[in-house]
Amino acid sequence: MTRQWWTLFAAPLILLSTACPHKSVPAASLKPTGFGVTLVESSGGKQIGPTGMVLAQPVVVQVNDEQGTAVTGALVEFSGPADASFDPPTGLTDSSGQLSTNVALGSMAGRYQLTARTSTKAQKSVELKIEEIALGYQEEVGFQLDSKYCARCHDPESTPERVSNHDNLEVKPHAFTEGDTLNRMTDAELSSIISHGGPALNKSALMPPYGYTLSKTEIEALMAYIRLISDPPYHASGMVYAQE
């Protein structure tokens, strides 16, 4: 999952204010000169970003033929939930068989399933599902707390802003995306281990207590962030999910 999140406050604003605007071209007016049989993600999936803002990286997809060779001039259309937007929403693949679009997530926090679609020469639809995550205010606060207090140990990947300490620890902390493990913990257990440290749940003492560092509201925000980014997704007991 993309974690270049210090750019999420600045880069989307730059994209919105300085990028040359694209005029949306109706798919019906674009004439494909090539057709493929598969559609694959090149980059841009599993990003997280603030609600209503442009993701830090564009979504790039590629159309290939039966031999796996990139197809130039294939028509690709992007779609998603009603309040997600794409720039451009449609286009023809370039000489590398790829099409890039800037994605702005909607106003609701949660997981957004986007769809890229192309057609074979026989007009059979080929689809690719791409998932992104939008953070609401509470989850944004949780992300910032993660970056300040947690990521250095829980995220094994180093960034230009932070060197990971993960590999130096005798007991490896779980990444916050590890839903197979963290989803089994109740909210009370997750709150307890954040507040009182690993020994509160008979876990490693290398997990320090943050109950005197973080307020109750901040701990709840951190938990909300962890729940939202978990993979597989977290489903609270008794919660009813709306269907599209």
Separation of alpha carbons 124 and 131, rounded Å: 23
Separation of alpha carbons 153 and 229, rounded Å: 17
Asked if the domains 7-135 and 137-229 are classified in one and the same CATH topology, the answer is no
Quick one: which of 47, 219, 240, 43 has its CA closest to 135?
47
What integer best gives the mean pLDDT of the chain? 87
Question: 103 pLDDT exceeds 90?
Answer: yes
Q: Which CATH superfamily is domain 137-229 in?
A: Cytochrome c-like domain (1.10.760.10)
Separation of alpha carbons 139 and 48, rounded Å: 10
Helix (H, G, I), strand (E, B) or coil at 87: strand
CATH architecture, domain 7-135 = Sandwich (2.60)
Can you list the alpha helix ranges (DSSP code H) found in the chain? 7-18, 137-145, 151-154, 179-182, 187-196, 216-229
- Domain definitions of the chain by residue range: 7-135, 137-229
Give residue-wise pLDDT tens across range 155-178: 988 888 788 889 888 999 999 999
Give residue-wise pLDDT tens across range 177-191: 999 999 999 999 999
Separation of alpha carbons 111 and 35, rounded Å: 31
Contact between 48 and 5 (Cβ < 8 Å): yes
Query: What global pTM score does this model have?
Result: 0.79
Give residue-wise pLDDT tens across range 121-141: 999 999 999 999 999 999 999
Give me the pLDDT at residue 239, please: 42
Separation of alpha carbons 21 and 83, rounded Å: 19
